[in-house]
Amino acid sequence: MAPPPPPPEYSQSVKLKYVKLGYHYLINHFLLFLLLPITLSLTIEALRTTPQELQTLCNSIKLTLIHVISSLFLVIYISTYYIMSRPRPVYLVDHALFKPPASFRVSFAGFMEHARMAPFSEPRSVHFQMKILERSGLGEQTSLPPAIRYIPPSPNMNLAREEAELVIFTCMDSLIRKTGVEPKDVDILVLNCSLFSPTPSLTAMVVNKYGMRSNVKSFNLSGMGCSAGLISIDLAKDLLQHHPNSNAVVISTEILTPNSYMGKERAMLLPNCLFRMGGAAVLLSNRRSDRRRAKYRLAHVVRTHKGADDKSYRCVSQEEDSEGNVGIKLNIDLMAIAGEALKSNITTMGPLVLPASEQLLFALSFIGRKMINSKWKQYIPDFKQAFDHFCIHAGGRAVIDELQRSLRLTAEQVEASRMSLHRFGNTSSSSLWYELSYIESKGRMKRGDRVWQIAFGSGFKCNSAVWKCNRTVDPTAEDGGPWADCIDNYPVYIPEVVKL
């Protein structure tokens, strides 16, 4: 006689789903389930005692006035200490992004022609760049600064300064317009630009142009790679803990003019193909008055630095090739190192953001692997439960693919990253803000939503930030953001290989 047929897949998975749901609900609201019966029994007990019994209970405790007053003071003292030592909330009032003028556009055909005409180019390096561009996930509307569009590229300090002024001042003007902040009111100014660091610094340039106060706290971070945007946010957050009632302007950008690689070493040609112009300015505040109008509240920032490991340290480095051209060399094991750094980061992030149910499962499987059977698969917590939106640094198509795979994200969750890469290219530290703006322009950002921003950078660093949406963002009210004129064309289907 044939064995009974196994229950169909569908009903099995449905049963499992309900079990999972029930488990999560139970664990996440565990305290509630615990408290309910206790409170109930106490209430019933209180209702049963008569007022006389209560009176005798109070008398038996033998409280004097001193006791009462001192215990009152103790309570007040403890609660004040508790309130004062809580971290100040950091609000993101608004952000402004740089939209490059249409005349800065770079087409694939134009890029390839220039690559061919570059002074040190040879057919192999040109062919390599073509292959990279075909698979890069970039579109035909990314932008490069004028210095790089010259034949041959003519990066000089003047043009670099011009690019910096264009990007940074446009962002600042836009931020001032959107938030109404007065430059004289700015208390803290943090700017990060990895590869261009002139004297006087770019922050000095901003202070000069906008006439900021003489006691503004300015910090110029350079050399910190693509994850420097979140490092600046972290720095501003720490400063805002120290200074009550203050605001901070954080500017993230990458100035490309001085960094076009003019040689033929293939590992160093990648940044030429992927890096594009972009910039962002963000206003953070810890003032109570900004609580109503702020878009987001900063929940956590987690920074992971793997520089202690030699391989991670050397995987992205700026060096000279054999002909003396300076460029940024990307090592072949970049993706593996990025994966390791990500794992470290989410191990730290997990307990902060995951619901108790996921943490319990993770802990159980961890203990089980260590003590019972090391062949058990490590349970990877489902981060989709903790976050509503994901902003993954648009470092390149490979990075987004890898993260989508390892975090098991859906196509919609990485859509913001892919579309930002397509429309703006890899804008380095500001790419996270373009992605956030995409989500807002699509009308997907609702009050209470949690956003996870992940950035990777040289060093090797993996930094992430968690924001909680404070008020629903209305896409139509966006004051001409970078996506305003093209958001309806997105999402766009990006083929694996674009034939050039």
Partner 1 sequence: MAEEGKRSRVKVESILSVVSSNPTRPGKVHKLSLLDQSMGPHTIHIVFYYGSNPFSDGPMSSDLENFRVSLSDVLDEYPVVTGRLTRGPDGGGWQVKCNDAGVRVLQARVDATVDEWLRSADVDEERDLTVWEDMPLDPSFWSPFRIQVNNFKCGGLAIGLSCTHMHADITSATLLIKSWADYHSTQTLTYPPIFTLPTHTHPQNTTTPPPHSPTTNTTPPPTKMATVTMKFSGPAVEKCLSGARSQCPDATPFDVLVALLWSKIAHWQEPHTADDNKRSISICTDSRGNRGQKTKIPLGYFGNALSFSVLTVEADELSSGKLGQVCEYVHRHVVDRAGPGLVDGDGEDPVRVYGPQITCVSTEHLVDAEKNGEAIMYSAVFDNNNNNNKNNIKGEKPLHVSYSYGNVVGEGLIVVVPTAEVGPGRAVTVTLPEEQIDMLCKDQEILDLEGVMVISGGR
For partner 1, the binding residues (CB under 8 A) are 101-103, 105-110, 112-114, 116-117, 139-141, 146, 149-151, 154, 162, 165-166
Residue 446: closest CA among 388, 383, 488: 388
Token pair 């922050």 in the structure block, residue: 203
Token pair 């609201």 in the structure block, residue: 29
Annotated catalytic residue 305: yes
For partner 1, the closer of residues 74 and 492 by Cβ is: 492
Element (H, E) at 279: strand 279-285
Closest approach of partner 1 to the CB of residue 423, in Å = 11
For partner 1, the closer of residues 51 and 495 by Cβ is: 495
The contacts of residue 153 (CB under 8 Å, 6+ apart) are 114, 118, 147, 260, 262
**Do 326 and 319 touch, CB atoms closer than 8 A?**
yes
Element (H, E) at 463: strand 461-469
Q: How far apart (Å, rounded) are the C-alpha atoms in residues 292 and 304?
A: 32
Catalytic residue among 273, 286, 389, 463: 389
Closest approach of partner 1 to the CB of residue 126, in Å = 10
Catalytic residue among 193, 226, 315, 462: 226
Token pair 């001409």 in the structure block, residue: 480
Closest approach of partner 1 to the CB of residue 246, in Å = 33
Closest approach of partner 1 to the CB of residue 247, in Å = 29
What's the angle, vertex CA 235, arms to CA 230 and CA 241, rounded to 5?
A: 125
Catalytic residue among 426, 462, 469, 470: 426
Catalytic residue among 193, 220, 305, 462: 305
For partner 1, the closer of residues 163 and 187 by Cβ is: 163
Catalytic residue among 393, 462, 463, 470: 393
User: What are the beta bridge partners of residue 249?
Assistant: 189, 283
- How many angstroms separate the Cα of 483 from the Cα of each of 416, 420, 432, 487, 488? 11, 9, 14, 5, 9
Residue 482: closest CA among 297, 276, 295, 280: 280
- How many angstroms separate the Cα of 445 from the Cα of each of 59, 178, 300, 473, 478? 58, 18, 19, 6, 13
| Three-class SS state of 155 | coil
Q: How far apart (Å, rounded) are the C-alpha atoms in residues 390 and 455?
A: 11
Annotated catalytic residue 389: yes
Annotated catalytic residue 393: yes
For partner 1, the closer of residues 104 and 275 by Cβ is: 104
For partner 1, the closer of residues 101 and 351 by Cβ is: 101
Token pair 């878009």 in the structure block, residue: 295
For partner 1, the closer of residues 410 and 489 by Cβ is: 489
Closest approach of partner 1 to the CB of residue 202, in Å = 17
Catalytic residue among 24, 95, 114, 422: 422
Closest approach of partner 1 to the CB of residue 116, in Å = 6
Annotated catalytic residue 114: no
Please list the active-site residues. Answer: 226, 305, 389, 393, 422, 426
